[in-house]
Structure 1
């Protein structure tokens, strides 16, 4: 007997098993009236009402519904109210400029556009057949009634979401994730991070980003509690961990840094010690940061690796029994690797050093882009665009392939150099790039945000020489006020490289 896997499975189970349990505590401070707390019965009712509202608007199965919103209970409802009845959710990065949002809405062909009240100005230039402001009387009337939706038999091969990549180098691409992709990613993620009905998830990760990595589905299906955090603030994270008994969060490295910084001024015991596990991805964090999470916060550090195109989970790195007797610094170093393939995933590295993946989580394709779909899926493997090594069952990411610096004929991993810089107390943030140089081909160059304004370039270069081979050390250090980042915390190195490469026809030297 074959039964289609689908997004609604998670909500159906929660409503059946935990109907009166609090499902979500909404952000209390937001432009729209907060929802709830909502029980799972109420969450499911709202999801059905949203689906019925889409029926009334004439949005067909397969129709696209775009949502541009900060984290909110209404956005969580949409994960199920849209995809659970066969439509396609298009979660849009709320930090994008209006022209970028307009491109995504138009490219996806969205029939409906939902926007956060704080972003209502988008509707001046971004249009769809039906537009609504979340929390407004109009949206409540359309999507919060008691009508039952038209039944949908389900199709695990149907597109459930289109998630647009962050577009650091070109127009964003729409990643089509199927009902099956999302189901398997969520269940596999829950298995490897040991999610149970006792978990309390703090939404420190934007829900738009790869559907919150799939954790909203996993926690719902297992009856955990969602605590909505609208905007990241380190002190507020610690306060909510204490107030709500948070046990789990997913975060980019910038969020980790915010929590660590807030802990310095926190009075009393750090909340969540020996209880919270924080799942980190987006960029390999420095070894020192991992040590600090475990020592200063007392939280379990878990690293994952993946991409929007892989739904996103490919590998996981979690403390294991064999490491128990190692010193904390060595444990942190081992935890700094991308990790082991999760169940059902195969990892390989090709002759050029590119990481390849086979997984049931991999995208169905790029929306309206068959050429790029064929390129990244060539040979039956997903081509990640990341360079790395796969040894002893563990994947280590060396760099984005395009970010590898070739200096004096030697390959230099910018991540390795950045890790060395972060061990200096005077460094708050660092990014390493290659710039054209007549002697070396490409000169290893560090852009540094200082923690200590007195630190010098010469001091940092000497510090790196104590940790790295000479050819890997920065030959040039420049100090900047901040590093440009995407919404998910990734440093936009193409912006850092632009001034040095702008007059050249090639981006390698």
Structure 2
């Protein structure tokens, strides 16, 4: 597979001979399919936003706003500079930054120039960065200066043409200069590094603003993103997302939500998950451009006190997050002073949302958490709850318009309603395959063109889908399946528990034993107390054999609990 001619692996969305019970449960205003003729490129979506919403705010960062018109001019400058540096259509441009004002300008600028975006986690080690940049063949890297040292350490093994250093205050005017000084000299967030050939983002803007970018004939069958995934399960692979895959998902989300949220001028979406994560990229970064909404960019969502202060100054209408973020915010001092009266919905994805967290969030804000489900390989959204639910459902809702799902057994057979099996997906949002890995692509596609998610699910009679767990995380106790999500969900309902993670470890008597790692809210909570609580709510073989108390749980940079890291820790200790 090369940069311009990927091999599509997913056929049309709705051609499988199968009943679709979810369509009967659709809101009246939501169509069963999106119009294929309207699926264009992400560049089309951006240009339409500039034409329609030029004077609307597009972004807010550190208290300063940027309109769509200003964002368009900044993106054009980036595109013009890249073309001046010799970027050709299909060349890869890597972005290694948190949610700062420059991110969307670089993203859209690179796409307008005909580039392919490679989103990079800024917390990567030099080894991980080297692998991803070399695997993708990136020519350009835009990196926040805070992570310059990682780039310096990787540079001898990289084949980059240019490194562009971005500062957190870039595109923020005079206020940006203050933010940069605080970041560098007060917080000391920038470790010393040497990248003598790097270019500053200010220089890029100065040079690129002098001329209009050359128009590039980008089609919907060209690649938009190489979205790397699988880092928590093995070697990271680049999900090849075409313009039409991601643009289709934007249209699917618009069809699903527009009847409930309307095209209001004052929409303010909390973008706390990083834009390099596929969930925030599509649901915040691209969907907001489609409906003319403004993104409230949170550069460091782990700074919960700072996050709460930002929310106190805002009238947010839309929010995206995941379970651990909602949990932290709901427990945060000062959250009661946030005005949530304009909040239309709070959507959650990325990991299973726990009922206890959802209930607490609704108490704080008055709005239920609307859970959705997706993967990097599906651009990402596959299913979502209706936006008019009155309380948390515990399901991932219904497949989006033009999306087909089935639950399959170990031999690939479609299982009847109510039976557990692997969730498989077909739709226009399904990737074209893994970048330069036809063998890996073949493993995840069924002969009839469905993507195998690796998640255990049940389709309910009304078409709602419930995720039971990741197949690889399932614990087998004396032949009985134990799903960590279920056990974790029970443990966190205990009033003295803040967070929990459950794994299976080898056991000579039962094959595997259930082990729980717990972060306490109440330091007096004991193992016996939690075991008794679990026995009241779980059948015997699901009750954890052992409870271990921790100050924190290992998490990915977006806050997803890493069960694998806990397992590896045990394996290392046993090896010694």
Give yes or no for contact 2:257–2:387 (8 Å, CA) kept in 1. no
Task: Indicate the residue corresponding to 1:31 in structure 2.
Answer: none
Measured in 2, the distance between the counterparts of 1:179 and 1:7 equals: 6
Conserved? CA contact 2:228–2:236, under 8 Å:
yes
Post-superposition CA distance 1:393-431 (Å, at most 9, x none): 111111110111111221111111111101111211111
**Mind listing any 5+ residue stretches in structure 1 that lack a counterpart?**
29-35, 325-330
**Paired residue for 1:47, among 40, 65, 75?**
75
User: What secondary structure, in the 3-state scheme, does the structure 2 residue paired with 1:93 have?
Assistant: coil
Residue 190 (structure 1) aligned with residue 225 (structure 2):
no
Q: Which residue of 2 aligns with 1:115?
A: 143
Paired position in structure 2 for 1:134: 166
Structure-to-structure mapping, 1:463-478, within 5 angstroms: 463-478=533-548
| Contact map agreement 2:139 2:162 (CA 8 A) in 1 | yes
Query: Is residue 348 from structure 1 mapped to residue 406 from structure 2 by the alignment?
Result: yes
In the TM superposition, residue 57 of structure 1 has moved relative to its aligned partner by 0.6
Residue 243 of structure 1 deviates from its aligned partner by: 2.2
Alpha-carbon offset, residue 481 of structure 1 = 2.3
State the alpha-carbon separation in 1 of the partners of residues 96 and 264 from structure 2. 30
Q: 1:234–1:261: 8 Å Cα contact kept in structure 2?
A: no
Alpha-carbon offset, residue 504 of structure 1: 10
1:390 aligns with 2:465: no
Structure 2 distance, partners of 1:500, 1:220, is 45
Q: For the residues of structure 1 that align with 2:455 and 2:254, how far apart are their CA atoms? A: 25
User: Deviation per CA, 1:38-97, whole angstroms, max 9, x where unpaired?
Assistant: 221111111111111111111110000001001012111122111233210111111111
Q: Which residue of 2 aligns with 1:238?
A: 308
Question: Residue 527 of structure 2 corresponds to which residue in structure 1?
Answer: 457
Q: Is 1:10 the equivalent of 2:78?
A: no
More divergent stretch after superposition (127-136 vs 87-96): 127-136
Superposition map of 1:53-132 within 5 A? 53-127=81-155, 128-132=160-164
Aligned to 1:221: 290
Does the 8 Å CA contact 1:436/1:501 hold for their aligned counterparts?
no
Structure 1 residue 157 displacement after superposition:
0.8
Match 1:162 to one of 226, 247, 253: 226
SS of the equivalent of 1:82 reads helix
Aligned 8 A contact 2:248 2:429 in 1: yes
Q: 1:177 to 1:460 in 2, by over 3 A?
A: same
Partner of 2:366: 298
Which of 221, 238, 243 pairs up with 1:174? 238
Q: CA deviation at 1:357?
A: 0.7
1:211 deviates by 6.2
Change (3 A) 1:349 1:413: same
* Offset of residue 229 of structure 1: 1.2
Do the aligned residues in 1 keep the contact of 2:83 with 2:113 (CA within 8 Å)?
Answer: no
- C-alpha separation in 2, matches of 1:397 and 1:238: 31
Partner residue of 2:430? Answer: 362
The question of whether the paired residues in 2 share the 8 Å contact of 1:102 and 1:125 is answered with no
Shift of 1:4: 6.6
Q: CA deviation at 1:210?
A: 0.9
Instruction: Report Cα offsets for 1:187-236 as digits up to 9, x if no partner.
Output: 22233233523311121110000162402111112211122111013333
Within 5 Å, give how 1:378-457 maps onto structure 2: 378-379=446-447, 380-392=449-461, 393-457=463-527
- State the SS of the aligned residue for 2:138: coil
Range moving further from structure 2, 493-502 or 475-484: 493-502
1:11 is paired with a residue whose SS is helix
Distance (Å, rounded) in 1 between the aligned partners of 2:379 and 2:561: 21
Distance 1:4 1:475 in 2: 52
Of the three residues 379, 399, 405, the one matched with 1:311 is 379
Structure number with higher relative contact order (C-alpha < 8 Å, ≥ 6 residues apart): 2
Tell me the SS of whatever aligns to 2:154.
coil
The residue matched to 2:547 in structure 1 has which SS?
strand
Select between 232-241 and 155-164 the one with higher mean Cα deviation.
232-241
Contact 2:502 2:515 in 1 (8 A): yes
Contact 1:210/1:311, CA 8 A, preserved across alignment: yes
Change (3 A) 1:419 1:4: closer
Cα drift, residue 299 of structure 1: 3.0
Residue 193 of structure 2 aligns with which residue?
A: none
Q: Indicate how the Cα distance of structure 1 residues 373 and 433 shifts in structure 2: closer, same or farther if over 3 A, else same.
A: same
1:185 touches 1:361 (CA, 8 Å); kept in 2?
Answer: yes
Counterpart check, 1:202 vs 2:234: no
Q: Is the 8 A contact 1:10 1:218 kept in 2?
A: no
Q: CA RMSD in A?
A: 2.2
Distance 1:286 1:430 in 2: 10
Report if aligned partners of 1:47, 1:77 keep a CA contact under 8 Å in 2.
yes
TM-score if structure 2 supplies the norm length? 0.80
Distance 2:38 2:510 in 1: 59
Q: Hey, what's the Cα distance between the residues in 2 that align with 1:503 and 1:267?
A: 40
1:19 equivalenced with 2:51 (yes/no): no
1:272 maps to which of 318, 340, 349: 340
